[in-house]
Amino acid sequence: MLTKEQPPAVRFVIDEYALRYPVGEASVMDAQLEHLVQVVSDGLAHVQVVPAGALPGIGGAFVLATVDGRTVGYEESTSHGTVLTEERDLHRLEVIYDHLLGEADSPARSLERIQRVRNELWKT
């Protein structure tokens, strides 16, 4: 159980387009965003949303994780995923992550943006 003093171990930076892109019917999207709001509200994850169009040219989804005390990356494209362990690759992902954080809304504003998109587009 996470306490309020402990920061969540999971941090997400999400492009606003991901909130707006339909994956399934409106009821599915509504349920997904409701779940995201609940996870954040419960303190299980830290989410920041990058406003639509803020950073064009980001290549795609990636993950940075600490496994057994070392950083690893995972980068995804439309055709495959790649595990990254080389220092230069990890540095590149860390730089991109820093740029994303610099453009992202604060956690509180991100939660408001998620709710707004949910109400505007997906509320059934």
Specify whether the CB–CB gap between 76 and 38 falls below 8 A. no
Strand partners, 15: 50
Q: pTM value?
A: 0.83
What pLDDT, on a 0 to 100 scale, did the predictor assign at position 86? 96
- Where b means 16+ CB within 10 Å and e means fewer, 30-48 reads bebbeebeebbeeeebbbb
Three-class secondary structure of residue 71 per DSSP: strand
Sign of the alpha-carbon torsion through 21, 25, 28, 30: positive
- Report d(CA 50, CA 114) in Å as an integer: 11
- What would the pLDDT profile of 83-97 be if each residue is shown by its tens digit? 999 999 999 999 999
Please check the confidence at residue 5 and state whether its pLDDT lies above 70.
Answer: no
Across all residues in the chain, what is the average pLDDT? 89
What pLDDT, on a 0 to 100 scale, did the predictor assign at position 102? 92
* Structure tokens, 19: 């909130």
Three-class secondary structure of residue 20 per DSSP: helix
List CB contacts of 61: < 8 A, sequence separation 6 or more: 75, 76
- What would the pLDDT profile of 28-70 be if each residue is shown by its tens digit? 999 999 999 999 999 899 999 999 887 766 778 899 998 889 9
Percent of the chain beyond pLDDT 90? Answer: 70
- Report d(CA 90, CA 83) in Å as an integer: 10
What pLDDT, on a 0 to 100 scale, did the predictor assign at position 4? 53
Specify whether the CB–CB gap between 38 and 50 falls below 8 A. no
What pLDDT, on a 0 to 100 scale, did the predictor assign at position 63? 93
